[in-house]
């Protein structure tokens, strides 16, 4: 069983009159890649800064490996942080940048030399010791920032949108590098991003946040395939979210038409939200569909075509490897297992209280 490493208990934080985190409870296990995911202003970076010691919560406690570290300064915590801005010292060589923290700790020259060599090899930058930061690409500079963090042997590496300044190809390359590093180092990674693809690609566990609340915690597969509310469904990937009525177990009415589904326990004639992913919609001949509609538009997206199909007064988003030309009459069919039923929230800010 995984060991609990960090426990955030009843954490609240405000800046002026703005509440950023509201009574948050979250724990993080050892040797995991956990991502805090959400839109700007949701509280994810504030959570990371509280873990790192750069912010102090108004209420609540931060427990690290069984000890209360709420008031402990950053330099006394067994963790290091990598920011989006690389924060390399421009007047120092790469080896001097990496050695900076070790020199402060008064490590021996031989120890520092070994650690620099180890760290550069780990981030695939052997032989870069004498280079200056401005001679490196953005991706290389970010890897040096990571090398500088890992030579201090932290139990936890905090990463605050570290790939945000990189172009798409570099960002994708670095995603795989981070996964490799996490597996080789055997330490806990806590990663902040608003990029859903990054979160789904790299994480063992994703924490979806909105307006200071945790909306859902789970594996990437859980978050994508079984969203617990409409916010998560809409934020993680693209979705068709439709006001519907659960008629009875395994039968839901969508846009006035009955669809078989697999969900039970919602009661009879209950208003619900239905989520259907675009790739789960099958376009058929009109007579073979549960609904009949007309294709409004279609564009090529590289691995699939994205189409809009109007049916029963709703514009459906559909992904398919086969393009149906605009104006084509089609049927819409969905496998019952691909219809996700969710209770409607009682209020806009309703919190989903879940833990890893």
Task: Sketch the domain layout of the chain as residue ranges.
Answer: 4-225, 239-343
Binning pLDDT at 50, 70 and 90, where does residue 290 land?
A: very high
Q: What pLDDT score does 356 carry?
A: 37
Mean pLDDT of the 118-140 span: 89
CATH class of domain segment(s) 4-225: alpha beta
The pLDDT tens digits of the residues spanning 221-248 come to: 999 999 999 999 999 989 999 999 999 9
Q: In the predicted model, is pLDDT for residue 9 greater than 50?
A: yes
162, two tokens: 């570290």
- For residue 18, the surrounding DSSP H or E stretch is strand 18-29
Q: Is the pLDDT of residue 347 over 60?
A: no
As a whole number of angstroms, the distance between CA 347 and CA 252 comes to: 23
- Residue 174 φ/ψ, nearest 5 degrees: -70, -30
pLDDT for res 352: 42
The domain 239-343 is placed in CATH, from the list 2.40.50.140, 3.40.50.1970, 3.90.280.10, 1.10.260.40, at 2.40.50.140
* 239-343 and 4-225 share a CATH fold: no
Q: pLDDT tens digits for 27-65?
A: 999 999 999 999 998 999 999 999 999 999 999 999 999
pLDDT at position 346 is 65
Beta strands in the chain (DSSP E): 4-15, 18-29, 33-37, 59-64, 67-68, 79-83, 156-160, 188-193, 205-210, 213-218, 240-248, 251-254, 257-260, 270-276, 281-284, 291-300, 305-311, 314-320, 329-334, 340-343
Euclidean distance between CA atoms 117 and 353, whole angstroms: 45
Share of the chain above pLDDT 90, in %: 71
Between these two residues, 312 and 171, which has the higher pLDDT value?
A: 312
Residues 97, 129 contacting (CB under 8 angstroms): no
Q: Flag whether pLDDT at 269 surpasses 50.
A: yes
Give me the chain's average pLDDT, please: 91
């Amino acid at each position: 069983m995984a060991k609990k490493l960090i426990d955030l208990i009843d954490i609240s934080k405000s800046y002026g009159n703005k509440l950023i985190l509201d009574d948050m409870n979250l724990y993080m296990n050892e040797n995991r890649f956990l991502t805090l995911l959400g839109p700007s202003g949701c509280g994810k970076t504030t959570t990371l800064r509280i873990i790192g010691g750069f912010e102090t919560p108004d209420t609540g406690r931060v427990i690290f490996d069984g000890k209360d570290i709420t008031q402990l300064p950053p330099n006394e915590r067994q963790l290091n942080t990598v920011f989006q801005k690389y924060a390399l010292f421009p007047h120092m060589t790469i080896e001097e940048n990496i050695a900076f923290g070790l020199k402060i700790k008064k490590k021996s020259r031989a120890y520092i030399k070994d650690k620099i060599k180890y760290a550069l090899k780990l981030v695939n930058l052997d032989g870069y010791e004498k280079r200056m930061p401005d001679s490196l690409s953005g991706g290389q500079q970010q890897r040096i920032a990571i090398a500088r963090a890992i030579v201090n042997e932290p139990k936890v590496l905090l990463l605050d949108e570290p790939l945000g300044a990189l172009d798409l190809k570099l960002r994708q390359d670095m995603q795989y590098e981070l996964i490799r590093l996490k597996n080789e180092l055997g330490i806990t990674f806590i990663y902040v991003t608003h990029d859903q693809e990054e979160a789904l690609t790299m994480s063992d566990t994703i924490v979806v946040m909105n307006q200071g609340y945790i909306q859902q915690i789970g594996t990437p597969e859980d978050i994508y395939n079984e969203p617990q509310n409409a916010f998560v469904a809409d934020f993680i990937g693209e979705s068709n979210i439709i006001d519907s009525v659960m008629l009875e177990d395994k039968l839901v009415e969508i846009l006035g038409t009955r669809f078989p589904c697999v969900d039970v326990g919602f009661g009879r004639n209950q208003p619900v939200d239905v989520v259907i992913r675009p790739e789960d919609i099958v376009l058929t001949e009109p007579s073979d569909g549960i609904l009949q509609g007309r294709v409004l538009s279609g564009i090529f997206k590289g691995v699939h075509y994205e189409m809009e199909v109007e049916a029963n007064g709703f514009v459906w988003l559909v992904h398919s490897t086969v393009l149906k030309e605009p104006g084509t009459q089609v049927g819409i069919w969905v496998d019952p297992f691909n219809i996700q039923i969710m209770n409607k929230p009682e209020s806009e800010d309703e919190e989903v209280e879940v833990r890893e």
